[in-house]
Amino acid sequence: MTITLNNHTESLPIDQMSIMELLQAKQFDWKLLIVKHNGKYIKRAAYEATALKEGDDIMVLSLIAGG
């Protein structure tokens, strides 16, 4: 399955993957994240239930302190 992750094309070795699994595989380790799936904001509670499909566009932002 090929998706776009933060504007880069990513080829994933498996065809079934949730957003949660993608975040773990790509080591988004920060506690606080913003995730958009095809432009739609995804709440943390929905990471596991949201399945990726071919051609999806995922935006992940790790929130870190400082301002």
Q: Which stretch binds another protein (CB under 8 A): 9-17, 18-26, 34-42, 46-54?
A: 34-42
Contacting residue, 8, 15, 39, 54, with another protein by CB under 8 A: 39
The verdict on 7 binding another protein (CB under 8 A) reads: yes
Q: Which stretch binds another protein (CB under 8 A): 15-23, 39-47, 48-56?
A: 39-47
The 3-state secondary structure of the chain reads CEEEECCEEEECCCCCCEHHHHHHHCCCCCCCEEEEECCEEECHHHCCCCECCCCCEEEEEECCCCC
Contacting residue, 41, 48, 53, 55, with another protein by CB under 8 A: 41
